[in-house]
Structure 1
Amino acid sequence: MSSVERSRLTYAFDAYCGWCYGFGPALHEFAATNADRIELRVLSGGLFTGPRALPVAAYPHIPGANERIAQLTGVTFGDGYRAALADKTVVMDSTDAATGLVALRSQPGANALDAAAAMQRAWYIDGRSLSDAQVYRDLADELGLDADAVAAAYASPATRTAAEADFLQIRRLGVDSYPTLLLHTTHGTDRLGGPVSSADALTHALDQHLATAPAA
C-alpha cells in the first residue's frame, strides 16, 4: 500500500450503547495510532428507535450491563448519569442522537469520532438527554464548532433524514450489534476486533487483514 492510500473503515455505533462507550477509548487510541493510514467514518446504528425509544426504566438490565462494561473496559459512569438512571424518565431516542451526530460531524473541521465521544460523555458522565437541543450547542462549543450552525442543523428535517440514512447504511452492511468496526476491502467488509479489544489488538487485526486483503 502506497503512502497516499488509506484503508477505509466504518464504525457502527449508537450514542446510547454502553458497550460503545466502553470501546471508545481503545478506538480513539487505535485511530490516533493509525491516523496516517486509515479513513474512519462514524455511522449511527439506531439501537433505540420507534417502539424501542423508551424511558430508561424500560431497560432494567442496564445497571448490571454497566457494571460489566466498567469491569472489562475500565470506563467510569458519572454521577449525572447514575442520577438519570435513578430518575428513570429520560427517554433514550437513538434517532434524536443520530441527528445530533450528523449535525456535529457535518460542520467544517469536525471530527466524527470526537463528536461521538463527546455525545457519549454528555450521557454517560453528565446524564444529559441526547434529545435536548442545548446539548448540541454545548458540545459544539466543546469541540470548537459553530454552535448556531450545529443548532440549525439539528433542527433541520434534512439532518434527520441523513441520520435515518445512517441506519439504512448500517443495515446494508449487515451490522446488528454495537460497537462494530468494519474494514472495507476489495472483496467486501471484514470486522475488526470486538467491544473489549485493545487499541494494540485492533492495530494487529488491521495489519493482518491488510496483509491478505488490500483495502479498496
Structure 2
Amino acid sequence: MPSNNAPVLHYIFDPLCGWCYAAAPLLAAARALPGLEIQWHAGGMLSGPARRTITPDWRAHVMPHDERIAKLTGQPFGDAYYNGLLNQVGATLDSTPPIAAMLAAEAMDGRGLDFLARAQAAHYVEGRQIATLAVLQALAHELGLDTLSFTTHYEIALAGDTARHIEESREWLQASGGQGFPTFVFEFTDGASGRRVAQRIDMGPWLGNPTGWQEHLRQGLAAAEDAAQG
C-alpha cells in the first residue's frame, strides 16, 4: 500500500523487455519527481515455460525492434549486445533471475529499480548474460551491495517470493487493462469517495521525451491533489 495515501505510479514491466528499456528514461524522470511514489511489478515475460535461448531466429526477431527503439528514444545498444550476446547461440534468456535480483536489492536497501537500470545497461549495452548468478552478483557489487548478503536474499527470493511477485504483477497488468509490458498506472485518492482510483497512462507519446513525460506526471499530481481535497 502507498505510504500516507500518496499518489503512486505503478510500473509493470520485464527486465528483458526491449520496450521497457525504451521506457527507462521515462521511469528515471518519474523517480526524480517529488511527491510521487513508484511501485514496480515485474511480470516474468521470459519466465518459466516462456524462457528462451538465443538463436539466429531470435536475433533476427529482436533486432528490428531494438533499432526502432534506438531511433525513437536514443537509448544505446552496444556492439557487445548486437554482435556479442545476440550471437551467443544457446545462451539463456530468463526473466526470473534478474527479477529475483531486483527483489533482493529491494529487500536489502530499497534499490530494486537501481538494479533494474544497471541490469538493462548490462544486457543491452555490455552484452552480459543477466540470467546468470555470477553476472547478477557482479552488478550487485557495482551498486555497492554486499555480495554475500545479496546472494542470500537472492536465494530466498528464488525459493518463492519471485514466483508470487510475477503472479501478482500479471494480475496488476490484467486489472489495469494493459496490453503488455511496459504499462504505467497512476493511482490516487478521490476525495469525494475516499477510494483509491487507478488510471492507466499511455506512455507512447512520451517515448524519447522524458522532460515532457515528467511535466505530464506533474500535472497528474496536481490534479490528484485537487481530487484528494474533494
| Fold equivalence (TM over 0.5) | yes
TM-score (norm 1): 0.85
Contact residue 81 and residue 126 of structure 2 kept, 8 A? yes
Q: Which amino acid letter does the alignment assign opposite residue 45 of structure 1?
A: G
1:116 CA displacement: 0.6
Corresponding residue for residue 181 of structure 2: 178
1:84 correspondence with 2:85: yes
Q: Which blocks of at least 5 consecutive residues in structure 1 are unaligned?
A: none
Identity percentage of aligned residues: 31
Corresponding residue for residue 205 of structure 1: 216
Contact residue 104 and residue 112 of structure 2 kept, 8 A? no
Corresponding residue for residue 6 of structure 1: 6
1:188 correspondence with 2:168: no
Contact residue 104 and residue 150 of structure 2 kept, 8 A? yes
Corresponding residue for residue 163 of structure 1: 162
4+ runs of 1 displaced by more than 4 Å? 211-216
Q: Distance in 2 between matches of 1:25 and 1:104?
A: 20
Q: Which blocks of at least 5 consecutive residues in structure 2 are unaligned?
A: 190-195
Task: State which structure, 1 or 2, has the greater radius of gyration over its C-alpha atoms.
Answer: 2
Q: Give secondary structure in 2 for the equivalent of 1:127.
A: coil
1:15 CA displacement: 0.9
Q: Distance in 2 between matches of 1:204 and 1:193?
A: 14
1:160 CA displacement: 4.4
Q: Which amino acid letter does the alignment assign opposite residue 185 of structure 2?
A: L
1:150 correspondence with 2:150: yes
Contact residue 12 and residue 43 of structure 1 kept, 8 A? yes
Q: Distance in 1 between matches of 2:158 and 2:209?
A: 33
**Structure 1, residues 33-80: CA drift from partner, whole Å, max 9, x if none?**
x1x201112221111122220112253310111000101010111122
1:137 CA displacement: 1.7
Q: Distance in 2 between matches of 1:23 and 1:133?
A: 25
Q: Distance in 2 between matches of 1:182 and 1:198?
A: 18
Instruction: Kindly tell me the number of residue pairs found equivalent between the two proteins.
Output: 209
Q: Distance in 2 between matches of 1:188 and 1:160?
A: 33
Superposed CA RMSD: 2.3
